[in-house]
Homo-oligomer: A and B are copies of this chain.
Amino acid sequence: MAQYLTGLDGVFLALADPTRRAVIHRLGHGPASVGDLAREATMTLPSFMKHVRTLESNGLIRTVKCGRVRTCELDRERLAVVEDWLAEQRRLWEERTDRLDQFVTNSTERNTT
């Protein structure tokens, strides 16, 4: 449980940056080299590499070096952890809303009979 929470901390933190979210978005179209991604981010390679390392260390992307080119690709399972967490919260609110609806319906029926 502690490990799961720590994982979520890192994933949310990694997503709290527009450059890193833009990388996730770009990699949704398919793998890309670090060089191409850095150019699209209009950022120097060393600055951009910090973002790549944050994304990689939190499991949101995988990188593979082939010769001089490092290629990045998404790890969708990691984003699914965030989706699962959000879905769980939504389930709770919706259950509560259903209960409130039921309560209002029952109260209205009692008052009209």
Contacts and interface: CB of A to CB of B under 8 A. Distances in A.
- State the copy count for this chain: 2
Contact of A96 (B17, B28, B82): B28
A8 B10 CA distance: 16
Interface residues of A, number: 29
Interface of A: 5, 8-10, 12-13, 15-18, 21, 24-25, 28-30, 74, 76, 79, 82-83, 85-86, 88-90, 92-93, 96
Contacts of A29: 92, 96
Contacts of A85: 21
Contacts of A25: 88-89, 92
Contacts of A30: 96
